[in-house]
Amino acid sequence: MKKLLFLLPILLFAIDLQFKCDEILHKQAFDICYSCKYKHPLAVTYILKGDLVQKKLSRKHLTFRPDYNLPAKCRSYSKDYSRTGYDRGHLAPNAAFDYNRAIQKQTFLMSNIAPQKPQLNRRLWAKIEKFTRILAIKYGKIEVTTGVCGNKGYIKNGVGIPKYWFKIIYIPKLQKSPAFLVPNTNAVGRRKIKEFLVDVKEIKEKCGF
């Protein structure tokens, strides 16, 4: 099993987040640590540049597609999520890469998708992603790790359901890493993002890294 070491928070917290990746996928603008056991990514890491995040190319005609760079036994499919009560949640969000059509398409690969409750995906998590883009615009460049951890069952085709979603944002200019840890429930949809700000150490402890 391959290990992917995320160094973003180390400068400030001296913490190494080590994920046991069955597959490591290098896309044009982001890297994926993927779990064949759960058929979804464990983490995605990328750099976000403030001068690019406001281009806003349309997502029209973009569709979810299997990632054929994964072994067949590891793949998930868009239909696995149908009528399950879970959205297809992006780890590398389309809105972060809507300056480039090819990268946009890569964000819709199922290797970048994990089950996410609708009210979390469409409300609270959307706010966290918007906040991330605002930081990129303000500080010029940030480094982001988005991940999931825990398991509370399965949807179709053996796709695992994460207990938590998290995002770690490293701001080089400040040498600070604001982070969020959110339970994968509909109940958090209307809550404020500041309620879920955590120290990176809490993510390490809660997720068992």
Work out whether strand 30-35 and strand 164-170 pair parallel, antiparallel, or are unpaired: unpaired
Domain that holds residue 178: 2-207
The answer to whether 20 touches 65, Cβ cutoff 8 Å, is: no
In which band, very low, low, confident or very high, does the pLDDT at 3 lie, cut at 50, 70 and 90? low
> Among the listed ranges 95-99, 122-126, 205-209, which one has the minimum average pLDDT value?
205-209
Confidence (pTM): 0.92
CATH of the domain at 165: 3.40.570.10
Residues 91 and 114: their CA atoms lie apart, in Å, by: 8
User: For the chain, what percent of residues have pLDDT higher than 90?
Assistant: 85
Domains held by the chain: number: 1
26 catalytic per annotation: no
Q: Which of 26, 40, 61, 90 is catalytic?
A: 90
